[in-house]
Amino acid sequence: MFAAVLIGLIGYGMFNGAMWTQFQTRTVNKITADENERITAQKNEIAAIEAGTSQPRLYRDPRDPAFMGGIFGGSGRFVWMSPAPLAALSVGQSDLYPYYFKVAVGSKQNFMSNDEIENPHNLLAGSFDLAFVIVYLFPLVILALSFNLLSQEKEQGTLALTLSQPLNLRSLVLGKIIARFVPIAILTTTFVLLGGFLVGVDFSADGAARQMVLWIIATIIYAAFWFGLAALVNSFGKSSATNALTLAGIWLLLVLIIPALLNIFTTTLYPVASRTEIVQATRRAAEDADARSGQLLSKYLTDHPELTPTNTKAEFGEYFSRIIVATLDAEKQTQPVLDDFNRQLTNRQQLVNRFRFISPAVVVQEAFNDLAGTSQPRYAEFTKQADEYHQMWRGFYYPKILRQDTINSADYAELPRFSYIAESSDAVTQRVFAGLIGLLAPTVLVFAFAVINLRRYLIAG
């Protein structure tokens, strides 16, 4: 029965994770297909205008750098990060952080804040994926199989008879643990690998096979910890009911309470500004800069005379130039708020990394997110690369907008291109390996304490 329950949980968890990953993949494929179609149409339209066979459209002229740069979000380019090979195994932070942006020449807050709409209750509860099954439910299956390793035989009066054979107590406990641990490990490993193939995990991708091995090793060490904990609780010689309540309390403490307290501790120690506060600060700065846009433009062109328009045939040239300098000034005003926000988020993650070893559940969850490519640091790196591309995009279009130049067919070859550079698999492996060492240490300790405590175990009474 326990095997069927475990198989069902693993299967359902992997199915849910695969559905989310496939949704992300479909989204990325759609935006890239739409963008390629849009770029091809723009190239053809420019070629037709240059050949004299077509007339430009008002406000949507593909030769207009303000339109092409997306000063009102009408054009621009998408940047995206595809799901990692093991993403289906752990949703992690991928339902909270964006995996694509449409970059335009405006403020980065305009495109980085356009998140997909999701039910907040779903985000609060988290996703039912394989990582959830292993971290939260897997220990319950183990404890249900091992809470009465010794207490059941003692209560039935057969323990003394069993130990009258050439068998000591420690060997008996170890044998019972092995008899439960080995089938559980084989069953879990088999169905995780089988499920990985069924949900489309690309084991040929760089580091994917190694990361899957680390995933299985983390699962096995995590299982060994809970078996060791059950052996330790049994070594005190209490009744089966007492053992069950004790282990349930420990599970509640290590899996639910301590991670929740750690979360409260980090958010209290490093509070961040709310989205509303950031939006309000951005809006105030934008209004102030817009009111001074004429002065700002005059000063900016004085400091950058090479960007002074050589001709003023563009009807809205100065208007767009004022938008640019107002945007730059508003960003300068709000940058301290954004820097503080990002600094606090980084401090939170560093604090979690520092204190994760107080709970095996936190260690394993962080390792799973790292291996699946759904950790907060990975999304932070993607946002950083998107920000760098945003600056490149501006660097290409701002001079053209300020000089009131036009885009031609040859300019398309010079457009900045984005390609997400993933962290090396070796770096992920080293980080996860350090976590597994930290998980192995308490596992060895609980087994050692169990062995020591069994020496004082009362066979009868």
> Is the separation of the CB atoms in 236 and 342 below 8 Å?
no
- Domain extents in the chain: 1-461
What is the per-residue pLDDT for 292?
85
Distance CA 141, CA 185 (A): 12
Handedness of CA 320, 325, 328, 334 (dihedral sign): negative
What is the per-residue pLDDT for 112?
67
Distance CA 341, CA 272 (A): 5
Give the list of residues 6+ apart from residue 407 with CB closer than 8 angstroms, or none.
46, 62, 63, 64, 65, 68, 400
Digit-by-digit pLDDT tens for the chain (461 residues) are 767 888 888 999 999 999 999 999 999 999 999 988 988 888 888 888 888 888 877 777 888 888 888 876 567 889 999 999 999 999 988 888 889 998 888 887 776 665 555 544 444 445 789 999 999 999 999 999 999 888 888 888 787 777 777 778 888 888 999 999 999 999 999 999 998 888 888 888 888 899 999 999 999 999 999 999 999 999 898 899 999 999 999 999 999 999 999 889 898 888 877 777 777 888 888 888 888 888 888 888 888 888 888 665 555 667 888 888 888 888 888 888 888 888 888 888 888 888 888 999 999 999 999 999 999 889 989 999 999 999 999 999 898 888 888 888 888 878 888 999 988 888 888 889 999 999 999 999 999 999 999 888 777 65
Residue 52: how many other CB atoms lie within 10 Å: 7
Phi, psi of 92 (to 5 degrees): 55, -125
Phi, psi of 63 (to 5 degrees): -90, -10
| Nearest 10 degrees: Cα torsion 25, 30, 31, 32 | 90
What is the per-residue pLDDT for 72?
66
What is the per-residue pLDDT for 124?
47
Supply the DSSP string of 418-454, one letter for each residue.
----PPPHHHHHHHHHHHHHHHHHHHHHHHHHHHHHH
Distance CA 121, CA 67 (A): 39
